[in-house]
Amino acid sequence: MKKILKNFIKLMVLFLVGYFVIQSGWIETVLLPRMSKDITLFTEKVKEGSLSLQTNLPSQSENEIHSSPEKIPTSTMIPNEDYRPLPESIEEDLIRARILQLTNDLRIEQSLEPLSSNEQLEQAAHIRAEETERSFSHTRPDGRDFYTTLNENGLNYTYTIAGENLAMATHHLEDEKMAEFLFNGWVESPGHYENLIKLEYREIGIGVYFDGEILYITQIFGTPY
């Protein structure tokens, strides 16, 4: 009987405490805000974690760029109104004339004497232009120096000083503009530029060769005895 009475008293106490808590609003002012704050903090931490993880991953567009070669910017994808498909043939005389004009214009700007075109130098330059398809070097394919062309194959150019400029590029512009394109490359290169404006030179030969894709141009400078 006493045991039953004790249990009944405990139940009444719990009931009264519960009733008091509900009536006093303690759950709304203490428990719920505390729970809400904990949930909010947890949510923010999860969000922060996801953001930090996302920053270590490429975005979809970035991932597409990295994985799709066709979307990587390249010079071939930049529109160029001057671009031309490979020609079947080229106007060698036009290219030679333009290179000679540009060379002499540059020399005149530097208060230097213009160069005269020399037939023997031109023949040697043509041989060298063809050779540079096999070996783009001032050393000939057989290992000899470039100036050995000046005294073979019927040529006999006697000189006090000689020099050579080489250039090559895929033919992608009109012939005249290709000449300008390659000439500008020489101007921007200290060693080639030095040949272009060398005071001692008096004559020049220009060789042009086209293999169906690559345009090769050679300048041989000389000062005869």
180-189: per-residue pLDDT in tens?
999 999 999 9
pLDDT of residue 152: 92
| Whether pTM exceeds 0.75 | no
Measured distance CA(66)–CA(63) in Å, rounded: 5
pLDDT of residue 81: 53
CA distances from 186 to 108, 180, 217 (A): 17, 10, 11
Measured distance CA(45)–CA(51) in Å, rounded: 10
Planar angle of CA 103, 108, 112, nearest 5 degrees: 100
25-57 pLDDT, tens digit per residue, is 443 433 434 444 433 333 333 333 322 222 232
51-77 pLDDT, tens digit per residue, is 222 223 222 222 222 222 232 232 233
Lowest-pLDDT range of 5-14, 107-116, 159-168: 5-14
pLDDT of residue 46: 33
* Stretch 133-162: mean pLDDT: 95
Dig out the tokens for 202 from the structure.
């008096």
Planar angle of CA 72, 75, 80, nearest 5 degrees: 130
